Amino acid sequence: MGDIAGIQSMVADLTKMVDGPHPDLSKCKDLVNKVKIELVKCPEFQPGAYLDNSESNKPLILARQTYEKAAGLSILCQDIDGFYRNVALLKDFYFDYSSILPPSESETLVIALQLLLLLAENQVAKFHTELELIPEELRDNVYVRFPIELEQFLTEGSYSELLAAKDHIPEKSFAYFMNLLMETVRDEVAKSCESAFDELTYAAAQKMLNLDSVTELEQYSMDRGWILENSTIRFVKDVEGLKDDRKIEKSVFEMIDRSLHYAVELERIV
């Protein structure tokens, strides 16, 4: 049987370590694993366990706190898969156990971080699916409202508003996912530049891509295979792709022409 007092002490230590200014990520991971092992020994986590809103649900609250800190630790480790796993576990506590557990102060933060990550990964459809699961009263929360507003900026193409939001994140844990989102937006802007322009000056491209220096611009350009020449970026067009498009267009017209010919011949026979 799990030692509740011991688990409570370990969760308190984990909270101090993860929330500290310079957390030892390796030690934090080890402690998370130890807490999880101890939690499994609690009767509340055994098959067929009866759960109500009594004091006996203390292990559930400790488990929720553990997974919340584990989710925060995943962000510090830049472990996106780990973050998703911990959030999936937390949903049981936030939704399935909501009638027997007191609200968690971290719930809106975790929900908002997941929404932001979905935006950063350009999973817009899943973003809206998850948004539908969020109770209406939580959508006005400062954390949850932040990714909702970002999605609106993306939909409207208001990239200047989006870039401005980078400097006004509501909590420091948003920073990593926000940087991922900026990279996603930059790639979308780059695709638009490739389609709309044959070339751009360094100054124009640096401003449009929101890069801090010419060095960053040159590195980004080389990564995308752009040609750098006399402080000008020349975009490499997908000539083969254009040829393929023309081939498809030609075949469509040929098919239409054949169909019209067959229709005329059939009319003559009739």
Domain span including residue 74: 1-104
Tally of structural domains, the chain: 2
Domain co-membership, 25 together with 115? no
Burial annotation 57-67 (CB, 10 A radius, 16+ → b, else e): bebbbbbbbbb
Domain co-membership, 96 together with 114? no
Domain co-membership, 109 together with 92? no
Domain co-membership, 91 together with 124? no
Specify the residue for token string 């960053």: 216
CATH number reported for the structural domain that contains residue 158 in this entry: 1.25.40.990
Domain co-membership, 97 together with 109? no
Domain co-membership, 3 together with 17? yes
Domain membership of residue 217 (yes or no) is no
181 near 116, Cβ under 8 Å?
yes
In angstroms, the CA 68 to CA 28 distance is 13
Q: End of a domain among 166, 196, 226? A: 196
Domain membership of residue 158 (yes or no) is yes
Range list of H helices, 107-235: 107-120, 124-133, 142-156, 159-165, 175-196, 202-209, 214-223
Domain co-membership, 95 together with 163? no
pLDDT tens digits in sequence order for the chain, 270 residues long: 558 889 999 999 999 999 999 999 999 999 999 999 999 888 777 655 556 656 668 889 999 999 999 999 999 999 999 999 999 999 989 988 888 889 999 999 999 999 999 999 999 999 999 999 998 889 999 999 999 999 999 998 888 788 889 889 999 999 999 999 999 999 988 998 999 999 999 999 999 898 999 999 999 999 999 999 999 999 986 555 544 544 544 444 454 455 444 444 444 443
